[in-house]
Structure 1
Amino acid sequence: MKLSVVIPAHNEVDSIGATVSSTVRTLDGAGVDFELIVVDDASADGTAGAVAAAADGDKRVRCVRSHHPGGFGFAVRAGLEQFTGDAVAIMMADGSDDPADLLGYLAVLEDGYDCAFGSRFVTGASVHDYPRFKLFANRVVNTGIRALFRHGYNDTTNAFKAYRREVIETVQPLLSNHFNLTVELPLKAVVRGHSYRVVPISWRNRRAGESKLALQEMGSRYLFIVLYALLEQHLARGDYQRSAPSPGRLRVGDSSATLDAQVAEARR
């Protein structure tokens, strides 16, 4: 299975080089067939040059300028329009996501699941230096989403997830222009009948640059997408569901020995 990794980046010159290098090293070390697409979201700080330097001529790594207006959701959508793999993972540019978790995601997809959902808040996960107010807001929002959709997943707002190609096709058209895309993708996948597995992942706060997520600007946008998906779930009568849903929809934190061994080796 070929894995595409889409990394939206807006003014991430201080972080993107290390993110690209560590991701390539991890996937190469595990013998994964992959491509890495960095989507330059109207950066003005040399982000594209940092990607080129980190790639050092590796044709599996490319930096493309988003042809959409600025915005995290637009940048991700630009990457999803161009990936060539059998599956795609969305990863942050700031180094907060652990590339070793991509191996766990790939194992989940190769095991037959449509989606691999990481959680920072289950047994086996680790979180470092999460700002207290953002952590509080995160837990409130995710608890609310979990209660509304009863999907048993407690980290819906986290962008770092992986999907088979057919999932990306099923959830079109995507509506979100900003960080609310992190909610739209998994909720549409769940509502439209795709199978998923939740696995523990690692996260650490960025060490350079500034966060692009402005909570005060995102509340109404998150609410719009949540209500959109909720209305589809209850009123669309399955009109948008895939024709043959996979059996077994959710398993939380029951990683196989093989998956655990791959991730542990990559983190050394």
Structure 2
Amino acid sequence: MSQLISIVLPVFNEEPGIQATIDTLLNFTEQQKEDYELIFVDDGSKDKSVKIIKHAIELHSNIKLVEFSRNFGHQLAITAGLQYTSGDAVVVMDADLQDPPEVIPQMIEKWHEGYDIVYGKRMQRDGETVFKKFTAAMFYRTFKHLATIDMPLDTGDFRLMNKRAVKQLQKLHEQDPFVRGQVTWIGFKQTSVKYHRQERIAGETKYPLSKMIKLALDGITSFSMKPLQFANIFSVVPIVSGVFYLGYLFATGRYTASSVGMTILLFTLGLLLLSVGILGSYLGRVLDQVNDRPRFIVSETEGFQERNKGIHHLDARQMRS
């Protein structure tokens, strides 16, 4: 019996290129010995992405759609897609073909060698600005020094996971998941395949600077307590420095009370505000968990036939309860 590979593809306003993505993946899967299902997760698109995907579903039984009620974010779109897979292995990739499907057979080969997770390691990134490449490189290296997990450098969400790895991911229910960090955290036998990340076939990036910053903060606050430790250190530094500096000024007689006081006050206030901001990031994550809202709401699914009836509006936590 042929193995089934599920491909999960988050979609957000990909109208200019989604048809090319569908055609490319269908052409790719027809040439493979494994069976494939393509699970598109629409993250609240405002264009015609859903309409194009639904038309493809009418023509191809292996294409499926999970449609969010609104935009919940890229990482939750991946998380939702994993709940709807039925493959022996699952591949997560972007819907803009920057992750080339030609790499998937290499991942499958590694999986057959006994690896549970095979992630794509980007050796080159076309079509991206110098700023984005620099900030991405800085994030991964900063994260590696701060985090309690050893997440591999220069890897995104493009990866293959076998069924037991996916089942463990389905048990996690963080409100703001950092999926690539979660995949590292669950462990199992992991390896990489190197690939050349291509330029987008059409459209614009869905990760502007604001979303990149949010993803970075979600990742760091999910897997590291060191910023909290830094906050405590920063709170002590201005006090100690102020005491020694004041002692020096009084000992030498070189001081002006107003200037010295204002300098120390502003410096201390700035660092205290920084500390409060770091603490607030962690408290915000606690609040999200305490609220216990569904992480996402699925308004509609298509192409799954009978097996998902009655669970369209549930996330993974509700499915288990």
Task: Name the TM-score class by shorter chain.
Answer: 0.7 to 0.9
Partner of residue 140, structure 1: 138
**Cα distance change, pair 226–195 in 1 and its aligned pair in 2 (3 A):** farther
C-alpha distance 137-174 of structure 1, shift in aligned 2 (>3 A): farther
Report the alpha carbon displacement of residue 194 of structure 1 after superposing the two structures with TM.
Answer: 1.4
Cα 1:176–1:165, aligned 2, differ >3 Å: closer, same or farther?
Answer: farther
Deviations 1:184-228 (A, max 9, x none): 333233333211111111212213212111222442542333342
Map of 1:160 onto structure 2? 158
% identical equivalent positions? 25
Deviation, structure 1 residue 56 = 6.1
TM-score by length of 2: 0.63
Q: CA deviation at 1:63?
A: 2.2
Match of 2:12 among 10, 13, 22: 10
SS, match of residue 104 in structure 2: helix
Question: Displacement, 1:67?
Answer: 4.9
What SS does the corresponding residue of 2:125 show, helix, strand or coil? strand
The one of 127, 140, 148 equivalent to 2:125 is: 127
Contact 1:68 1:75 in 2 (8 A): no
Q: Counterparts of 2:105 and 2:64 in 1: how far apart (Å)?
A: 21
Instruction: Measure how far apart 1:152 and its partner are.
Output: 7.2
Q: How does 1:1-268 map to 2 (within 5 A)?
A: 1-54=3-56, 57-67=59-69, 69-121=71-123, 126-148=124-146, 151=150, 153-156=152-155, 158-171=156-169, 172-175=171-174, 177=176, 181=177, 184-230=178-224
The structure in which a higher percent of residues are helix is 2
In structure 1, how many angstroms separate the alpha carbons of the residues matched to 2:175 and 2:190? 22
Distance 1:105 1:174 in 2: 27
Structure 2 counterpart of 1:251: none
Aligned AA for 2:139? V
Q: Which moved more, 1:202-211 or 1:97-106?
A: 202-211
2: CA distance, partners of 1:108 / 1:51:
31
CA distance in 2, matches of 1:14, 1:176: 31
Q: 1:68 to 1:48 in 2, by over 3 A?
A: closer
Structure 2 equivalent of residue 236 of structure 1: none
Task: Report the aligned-residue RMSD.
Answer: 2.3
Could you say if the C-alpha distance between residues 84 and 150 of structure 1 is closer, same or farther in structure 2, counting changes exceeding 3 Å?
closer
Q: State the one-letter code of the partner of 2:51.
A: G
Q: Deviations over 1:217-264 (max 9, x none)?
A: 442542333342346xxxxxxxxxxxxxxxxxxxxxxxxxxxxxxxxx
Which deviates more from structure 2 when the two are superposed, residues 93-102 or residues 72-81?
72-81
Q: Which runs of 5 or more residues in structure 2 are unaligned?
A: 226-321
- In structure 1, C-alpha distance between the alignment counterparts of 2:90 and 2:69, rounded to whole Å: 20
C-alpha distance after superposition, 1:152-188 (max 9, x if no partner): 72123x12112112212223324254xxx4xx33323
Distance 1:23 1:176, change over 3 A: farther
> SS where residue 38 of structure 1 aligns?
strand
Aligned residue pair count: 221
Q: Is the 8 A contact 2:157 2:180 kept in 1?
A: no
Deviation at residue 130 of structure 1 after TM alignment: 2.0
- Relative to structure 1, the CA distance from residue 220 to residue 99 in structure 2 (aligned partners, 3 Å threshold; closer, same or farther) is closer
Instruction: Output the TM-score relative to the length of structure 1.
Output: 0.74
Q: Is the 8 A contact 2:89 2:162 kept in 1?
A: yes
Give the residue type in structure 2 aligned to 1:187.
Answer: G
For structure 1, which runs of at least 5 residues remain unmatched after alignment? 232-268
8 Å Cα contact 1:16/1:95 also seen in 2: no
1:39-85, Cα deviation, whole Å (9 max, x unpaired): 12212211122224455611011222125753212222221111110
